Amino acid sequence: MKTSTARLIAAALAAGFALAPAAQAQTKLVFGTVTSVTLSLG
């Protein structure tokens, strides 16, 4: 990492910004209800 980039990150952190986390892989899950989807599933 270049020193200038490192300084920028340090400055951002000091200013209270969080680094964006790496995109998390989501597990696909199929959920089956026994009726149409209504507020009772809310």
Partner 1 sequence: MITAAKQLGFFKEEGLDVDIVAFNGTGTLLPQMTAKRVHVGYPNPDVLIVSRQPGKDPIPLKFFYNATRESAWEFVVLNDSPIKALNDLKGKKLGVGALTFGNIPITKAMFKEIGADVELVPVGVGAPAFLAFREKKVDGLNLFDSQHATLEVQGTVIRRLAMPQKYKSLFSNGFVAHEDTIKENPKMLAGFGRAIAKTSVFCEVNRAACVKAHWALYPDQKPAGDEAKAVADGIKIMAARFDKYLDFDDQKNRRWGEFPPQAWKDFAVALHEGGQISTKDVPVETCYTNALVPEFMKFDPAPIVARAKAAK
How far apart, in whole angstroms, are the C-alpha atoms of residue 5 and residue 29?
39
State phi, psi for 12 to the nearest 5 degrees.
-65, -45
- Is the Cβ of residue 4 or residue 35 nearer to partner 1 in the bound state? 35
- The answer to whether the beta carbons of residues 10 and 18 sit under 8 Å apart is no
Site for partner 1 in 2-31 (CB under 8 A): 24-31
- Give min distance, CB of 20 to partner 1, in A: 15
- Give min distance, CB of 22 to partner 1, in A: 13
- List interacting residues with partner 1 (CB under 8 A): 24-42
